[in-house]
Every structure is written in C-alpha cells, then in structure tokens.
Amino acid sequence: MANQKQAMLYGLATVLLWSTVATAFKLSLGALSPVQMLLIACTASILVMGVILVILGRWHLVFELSRRQYLQSMGMGLINPCLYYFLLFGAFDRLPAQEAQPLNYTWALVLAYLSVPFLKQRLRMLDIIAGLVCYSGVVVIATRGDVLSLTFSDPLGVALAIGSTLVWASYWIIATRDERDPIVGLFLNFLCGLPVIAVICGVTDGFDFSLNVSLAAAVYVGVFEMGIAFVLWSFAMKKAENTSRVSNLIFISPFLSLIFIYFILGEVIMPSTYVGLVLIIAGLWIQQLKAIRTMKAAQQ
C-alpha cells in the first residue's frame, strides 16, 4: 500500500548511502585496482542480494525464469556490472572524487537523449536547454574552472566518467523491456557478470588482497551501493504516493557527498566544483520540469 512518509524515509536512506559511495570508491582504490575492487564489490553485492531475496520470500523466483530471461541475464550482466563499473571505477581511479562524482550524475540527461532514437520519445526544447546547462557544468568541473582553455585536468578520466553515463543510460533503456523481478534481475546480472570480472582480474592484477581499509571499502560498496541502496530505492518508488517528491531527493546526494569527500578524504573542494555541480543539478531539474508539471496536473 502507498505510504508517502515511508517512501520518503526509504528515499532519504537511499540518498544517504549514495552520498557515501564516492568516498568509499576512493578509499577502496587506494590499494586496489579498479578490477580488483569490482571483483570484491560484485561478490559482496551478490551475497547481500541473495540474503535479501530469501528474507523477502522471492528466492524461488531465481529458478522460475525462462531460458530467454537467463540469456538476458548474461547479456545485461556484461553491461552492468562489468562494463559500467569498469568505466566508473576507472574514472574514480584517475580523477578526484569531487570531479568524478558530479560527472556521473549526468546519466539522467543522457537517458533522455538516448530515449529519442531507442524509445521513440520526442526531444523537447527543455531537454536541449537542460543539456546546454548540464554540460556547461561538466566543462567547468573537467577544466577546473579554466573554461576558455578547454584543457581537461585528465582527459581519459573525464572520458571514462562520461562513458559510464552512456553505458548506465543504455542499461536502463534495455531494462524497460525487462519483465523479471527487479531484485532477481539485478542478482542474476551480477551473478552472470562475476565470472567475467574474475577472469579479467586473474589475467591482469591478480587476487592478492590484503585485509585493510581498501578491502573494507570495496565490501561496503558492494553491500550498500550495489545492493541495499537499490532495494531501498525500489521500496521508496513502490510506496510513494507522489514519486516526484521522492525522486527530487536525489538532488541532495551530490552536495551531501562533498561533505564526506572533504572530511573523510581530505580533498579541498575547489570553487569550480561547486559552480559545475550547481549547473549540472540545474540542468537535471530543468529536464524534469515537464514531468513534474504533468504529475501535478494529474493530482489536481
């Protein structure tokens, strides 16, 4: 049953978890390579999602899918977790957290643009304006405020971050045709992706893991960012009487994340980060204006 108060609590809990992961990424990458971190996080995520499925009484659904859906799990597993997190962790490995984290938030705008050719949706003027505002923020952050020079602090790191938004948006477009239970689907995607990650890790950086802060941070990412946060957000959407109010909570996350980055990682937050982040959030807000107006009109 819908319960807006519970939905908001689930949403706030999710936002709090999302706000910590940029810091956890950097802590983990202090001693682990991106692929080692992904292997540990993916394993932890599979375990926690398996436990959640048992608690929710949905474990039996893992074994009741069609052959096509199991093949779908293999294909989607190559996208998420494999390709998406390879790119995302690679970006965080090269960029300061205060730069990589805001760039990743542009995936929502990418999703709107990719929906035009793949979902046959119309490109609105608001989408174009939102893109100009949003990506002006990307340029401010990527150039660290030296916009006129167009010299990126780390071109490859920026490319990996932007690439991750393309992959993540593409994943959600494919997921619009996914008929599996959301948690079951994510569990199977990660389960199918794990062997690929393990092979790549074995032939590149190996399995030499030490019990330290980096290992603990990688487990934290798997348990909370890849697992529990997804479940909490799905609960929030299911309970919501007004989904726009819950969805707007995500705008808190990047600013809250900067607090953790400053106090835990010790990164000095540059003025360009604040300016760029405000532009990115403004662009995303503009992109959502029509949906917000439509929802308000429907509720009147």
Q: pLDDT band at residue 286, thresholds of 50, 70 and 90? A: confident
pTM, two decimals, is: 0.90
pLDDT of 293 reads 60
Per-domain boundaries in the chain: 97-153+270-300
The gap from C-alpha 262 to its chain's centroid, in whole angstroms, comes to: 21
Is 286 or 185 the better-scoring residue by pLDDT?
Answer: 185
Amino acid type, 122: R
Mean pLDDT in residue range 48-65: 96
- The single residue listed with the structure tokens 């990688």 is 218
Q: Which one-letter DSSP state was computed for residue 31? A: T
pLDDT of 238 reads 81
Q: pLDDT band at residue 189, thresholds of 50, 70 and 90? A: very high
- Work out the percent of the chain whose per-residue pLDDT is above 90: 62
pLDDT of 41 reads 97
Q: Which of 185, 183, 289 is nearest to 238 (CA)?
A: 183
Give 203-251 pLDDT, tens digit per residue: 999 998 888 999 999 999 999 999 999 889 888 878 877 776 777 788 8
In b/e form, how buried is each residue of 150-178, taking b as 16+ CB within 10 angstroms? eebbbeebbbbbbbbbbbbbbbbeebeeb
Pairwise CA distance, residues 153 & 138, whole Å: 12
Give 142-154 pLDDT, tens digit per residue: 888 888 776 787 8
pLDDT of 292 reads 58
Q: Is the pLDDT of residue 46 over 80?
A: yes
- The single residue listed with the structure tokens 């429907």 is 298
Q: Is the pLDDT of residue 24 over 80?
A: yes
Longest dimension (CA), the chain: 60
Q: Is the pLDDT of residue 200 over 90?
A: yes
Amino acid type, 259: I
